[in-house]
Structure 1
Amino acid sequence: MKALRQMGSGFIIGVISLLLVIGGISLSLAETTAPSPPSTPSPLPTTFAVEFASPLLSPTLFPTLPPEISTDTLTPIPTATLAQTQPCSIPAGWTPIVVGVNDTLYSIAERYKTTADNLNTSNCLNDVVPPAGSVIYVPPVPTVTVIPCGPPSTWRKTHIVKPGENLYRISLLYRTTVAQLQSANCMGSSTIIHVGQALYVPNVPTSTPAATSTAARTSTSTMDFSTPTPTPSNTPDFSTPTNTATKTPDFSTPTQTSTPPSPSP
């Protein structure tokens, strides 16, 4: 390290000496040459262009590197084509309505006897609930055929419904059918009647329906699980017989007894 320092200092001294020699030669040459005439001063420009060199773009400090050329094969990116929206085709015969404040697809579908999916598809709603005030199309409401009802001329409104009665029992009483009772009383397909309600019935005497016997004869054998009562039985008597008194014949001589004579008549 000491040798390097000595070499560096000697090199610096040599350079300084060389510069001094060159400066002395140049001074001597300048004295020997004749002075040149003074140049005519040029007018100063009215505008000044000031240029600021960027120190960061110096070619000596930061050399530019050649651009890298990539050899990867570029894959073309497919471009998405926008599908053309088809115009919404409304079914034939459908009529427009205005959606109310509290309307939903389900309530509208129930009102016009269709389904919410059918309304969604036919109006191209794409599962978007239509806001209030918008217009959607609905199918025509089917016409309801009104069936005329009413009692025949011979029927009278004389039967008062009692507790436990129904249309079937009443039809048996008046020898008619449930359908005729429904039509005469404008009940439609309902079978609901109330206690105290007056009904039109045929003007015929009532008949009492025969009671049907539902009891079936069944023969069942019941087993007696009670304890049997012992019954007396004739069992032989093996006991020793006891001596009983027997009559002993009398061998004594009989005594004569006098018999009085019977009185003569």
Structure 2
Amino acid sequence: MNLIIDIGNTCVKLACFNDGNIIECIRVDRIDAKVGLRDFCKKYHFSKGIYSTVTDLDPEFVLEINKLSFPVMALVSGKTSIPLVNHYLTPFTLGADRLAAVVGANYLKPNCNVLVIDVGTCITFDFVSAQGVYEGGNISLGPTMRFLALHEHTAKLPLVERKGVVSILGNTTEVAIRSGVVQGIKYEIEGYVQSFLEKYPDLFVYLTGGVHMNLHFSEKMPIFANDFIVLIGLNRILEYNNEIV
């Protein structure tokens, strides 16, 4: 069994994989990560593991990983071997979550042009070609940052919660802000997908990430939700490095 650890800006995901299948996945707050890891590892007989992080690690969490009775590798962009060709010109600056996501997408949809859209603290758009080449991607503001920016960079606009009424036209300032952010993200995603479809008619799109916004897309859009695409990619990278060794 494989232990997969995805460390994000706000939470840590711990997953158990067996023979390529996800057995269980839990989310824990970063502050509880040390205890969560310890308890999770008591449930399964892991033989190896991998972790990725988009932020600096808590030294105590690193110590907890090092105490484990099985080897755990770190995914380091630009250094760790991956089963893709990476055309990113600055691979060492590439977020590990973005790298794992495209590996996962390629693993699930081999020989297919795939766009991965990850809605979290940031919104990322990453493309892997049918030839297994990661061509790069873009980074945009996530919903929380958009709400904060509207509040902090204006004199009177309030800080609005993401959950609530969303409409085409807001009839209150609160609804106008929420609708502007949520609908803006929807149109941004649709614009990217439509642009890629013009070049790649067979495009497949994975929508993932820690922020669920109840976005409703046209059935003509080839967008499919997958909450585990990063974890799947991490597991694939772990197995790939085990194979080449």
TM (norm. structure 2) is 0.19
The structure showing larger relative contact order (alpha-carbon pairs under 8 Å, at least 6 residues apart) is 2
Rg larger for:
1
